[in-house]
Amino acid sequence: MADGSHALLLDRGNLKRRNRVNRVVEIGSSIGAVIAVAVLVIVVGSVVLKGAGALSWHFLTTPSGLFGDTSGGMANALVGTLVIVAIAAAIAIPVGILVAIYTTEFASSRFAHPIGFVLDVLNGVPTIITGIFVYGLLVAGNKPSGFAGSVALAIVMLPIVARTAQEVLTLVPATLKEAAHALGIARWRTILRITVPTAAGGLITGSLLAVARAAGETAPLLLCNFIFAQGVLTDPGEGLASIPLFIFQSSESPSPEAHTQAWAAALVLIAFVLVLNVVARAFYARSRKRMGA
Amino acid sequence: MHNQNPTEATAMTEPNPEQQSRQEAGAPAPLAAAAEQPPAPRRDRDVGELELRGLRAFYGGNEAVKGIDLPFKANDVTAIIGPSGCGKSTMVRCINRMHEEIAGARAEGEVLLDGLDLYDSRIDIVAVRRAVGMVFQKPNPFPTMSVLDNVTAGLRLTGASRGEMDDRARQALVGAGLWEEVKNRLKSPGVGLSGGQQQRLCIARALAVEPEVLLMDEPCSALDPVATLKIEELIAELKQRVTIVIVTHNMQQAARVADTTVFMLDGELVEVGPTEKLFTTPDDDRTEQYVTGKFG
């Protein structure tokens, strides 16, 4: 008996090899994780190192100077991006949330699945294609404008908003909808008063992530909003300056001062995106907690 | 349904005459007065009679309830017992037409409330849900709403004024035995209450629309023994006002709260009778085996 159990305990078989494989996989995946974090740290770090020096109140509040004049700042680009992204958000967020409500509350799975697939494809469309499409639609035969840029960015944002909204709306416990139905509360009212408020945190998360993505999109703006004045403008019917194009143009300039300005603007953009991401995470955590309760 | 029951119909659309006279009498704080008195029986014995006739329920091609004829006495507590999957929840969910919310599910037969079929094409499903309230297994207060808003959630449709809603909410909270515990935290979130309080909040929410029938689908299965006891005491009080149908896994609970007990097996009604008789001298062998713990 004792011999038998000893044999069982001492028999190593291929355990050695299995331990080795285990080790390799563990080290490999740890290295992968370190690389991912390192890339972010290096990108953010280099932007901070090269851009922080040129960042000043003056830089943020003064419009950019004419060709090669680097005494100005990025105020026009900052305001332009805010206007363009705000309009894009005003288009994409309601439509995206409605799409998600349709697929989670009304559509049978025969329709919901294809719509989900279409949204994924739309999310994968290169933004230069979206830009060309909107160029043909709104700019060709007309003129480039901030609004055309907004439409292009709205198309980029739509699948992000809709997909995340779908995800959180399906997380709303069925028991809540059941409770509402059992009280004789109509379906649309249940959606407006119970489902959407319960999922609100997650809906905000998706919207913020989409805004963060749109704020940095360059290709659609290159095509739809490429001529703009140097002053601070807010009329979306005109061409508007934007942060991505400010970075693009400044980095194309031969002047080293312009390069530094490009880094500073990049720092502003990346800070904006990071802050939005952190806030979005906080809303998501809150929303999950509420739905778990 | 409303034709059969004029008091209920008017209560939903017009100010309650009782309430009005109280206000006219100039009582300084009618709400507080209502809150301190136990809720009075508010209806005749013959309102709230429920009857199932040839009720069959399906999930797709699968027949979960196989033709049940069963009367429920008004102002009685009827417990439905039986092993898991015997169709007791499905049967109860046919009474307020929640069964048909599930994709592919349908029901046949009649559910008569005071003689009127709830599946009649003239009847709106919203009216069914107001006449037949429901409390679920797990407490499910609306997480975005305060205690008070939870109770008034079902009332908003009626176009009741804010004051009227608050009044009804208080009565419902008193009725659910929760008023004393929450009167100082009506504005705080409903999900902040304990599990047992949440379930009584859900009962108050169902009572606020003044249903004739209250369905309870294993209302204590997620609660501790003390909270369970409170709910059971509440059931005994509430039967003065509503016809109660309670599904329970717990035979002791059925024995404690029910006047009549129904035993179901495989979608069929095996035996129905006064609770005491069903548990002590059942007619059917299968009932005896179940209540003595031989299976289930």
Of these ranges, A84-88, A107-111, B83-87, B194-198, the one predicted with the greatest mean pLDDT is A84-88
Give the residue from chain B lying closest to A189, CA to CA: B157
A160 and A31 within one domain: no
Residues A162, A260 within the same domain: yes
Give the integer Cα–Cα distance in Å for A170 and A45: 38
CB contact, 8 Å: A176 with chain B? yes
Q: Give me the residues of B, 222-251, that contact A with CB < 8 A.
A: none
| Minimum-distance CB partner of A175 among B126, B133, B138 | B138
Q: Is the same domain home to A287 and A246?
A: yes
Q: How many domains does chain A have?
A: 2
d(CA B160, CA B13): 8
Are both A38 and A85 inside the same structural domain? no
Asked whether the beta carbons of A85 and A214 are under 8 A apart, the reply is: yes
SS3 (DSSP) at B273 = strand
Task: State the pairing for strand pair B50-59/B62-72.
Answer: antiparallel
* Residue ranges of domains in chain B: 45-291
Query: So what's the pLDDT on residue A229?
Result: 76
Task: Identify all chain B residues contacting A183, using CB atoms and an 8 Å cutoff.
Answer: 129-130, 133, 153-154, 205-206, 209
Determine the pLDDT at residue B147: 94
pLDDT at A144: 87
Mean predicted lDDT score pLDDT of chain A: 89
Q: Which residue has the higher pLDDT, A134 or B23?
A: A134
Give the one of A175, A193, A198 whose C-beta lies nearest to B136's C-beta: A175
Which residues in chain A are closer than 8 Å to B222, comparing Cβ atoms? none
Mean pLDDT of A134-162: 93
Residues of B in contact with A110 (CB under 8 A): none
pLDDT in tens, A217-245: 999 999 888 877 777 888 888 888 899 99
Does B140 contact A178 at a Cβ distance shorter than 8 Å? yes
A65 and A38 inside one domain: no
Enter the tokens of residue A251.
């980095």
Query: Which of A106, A110, A176, A183 is the best mutation test for B, with the most CBs of B within 10 A?
Result: A183
pLDDT of B197 reads: 93
Q: Which residues pair with B146 in a beta bridge?
A: B189
pLDDT value for A119: 95
Q: What is the pTM of this model?
A: 0.78
- Residue B40's pLDDT is what? 46
Show residues of chain B in contact with A201, CB under 8 Å. none
Q: Do B136 and A173 touch (CB under 8 A)?
A: no
- Statement to judge: residues A10 and A124 lie in one domain: no
Contacts of B78 (CB under 8 A, 6+ apart): B72, B243, B244, B245, B246, B258, B259, B260, B261, B262
Q: Identify which has the larger pLDDT, B97 or A66.
A: B97
pLDDT band for position A208 (50/70/90)? Answer: very high
Query: In Å, how far from its chain's centre is CA A152?
Result: 15
Q: Which domain holds residue A40?
A: 2-52
For residue A102, the distance in angstroms to the closest alpha carbon of chain B comes to 16
Measured distance CA(B55)–CA(B165) in Å, rounded: 36
Contacts of A203 in chain B (CB under 8 A): none
Per-position pLDDT tens, chain B of length 296 = 344 444 444 434 444 444 444 343 333 444 444 444 444 445 555 678 899 999 999 999 899 999 999 999 888 899 999 999 899 999 999 999 999 988 889 999 999 999 899 999 899 988 899 899 999 999 999 998 999 999 999 887 666 788 888 888 999 999 888 999 998 999 999 989 999 999 999 999 999 988 999 999 999 988 899 899 989 999 999 988 899 999 998 899 999 999 999 999 999 999 999 999 999 999 999 999 999 888 87
- Encoded tokens for B199: 């379930």
Q: Answer whether A175 touches B (CB < 8 Å).
A: yes
- Asked if B209 is an interface residue toward chain A (Cβ–Cβ < 8 A), one would say yes
User: What is the separation, in whole angstroms, between the first and last Cα of chain A?
Assistant: 53
Q: Where are the alpha helices (DSSP H) in B96-194?
A: 125-131, 147-152, 162-175, 179-182
Q: Do both A196 and A284 map to the same domain?
A: yes
Q: What is the DSSP letter of A203?
A: H
> Does the beta-carbon distance from A179 to B140 stay under 8 Å?
yes
Report residue B105 CA to chain centroid gap.
22
Residues A17 and A141 in one domain: no
Distance CA B14, CA B7 (A): 10
Q: What percent of chain A has pLDDT over 90?
A: 56
Tell me which chain A residue has its CA closest to the CA of residue B216: A182
State whether B129 and A181 contact (CB < 8 Å): yes
Q: Which residue has the higher pLDDT, A71 or A202?
A: A202
Asked if the Cβ–Cβ distance from A179 to B96 is below 8 Å, we say no
Domain boundary residue among A52, A70, A90? Answer: A52
Is residue B200 within 8 Å of residue B231, measured between CB atoms? yes
Closest CB to B154: pick one of A173, A183, A197: A183
Q: Is B153 on the interface with A (CB under 8 A)?
A: yes
Task: Give the end of a domain, one of A52, A76, A92.
Answer: A52
In words, the CATH class of domain B45-291 is: alpha beta
Q: Give me A199's structure tokens.
A: 């999922």
Query: Do A267 and A178 share a structural domain?
Result: yes
| Record: contact A182-B129, CB cut-off 8 A | yes
Per-residue pLDDT, A276: 93
Q: Does the complex come out with an ipTM higher than 0.90?
A: no
Q: Which of A185, A198, A200 sits opposite B154 (nearest CB)?
A: A185
Same domain for A171 and A61? yes
Residue B23 to residue B27: CA distance in whole angstroms: 6
pLDDT at B46: 61
Give the CA count within 13 Å in the CB-facing half-sphere of A115.
Answer: 19
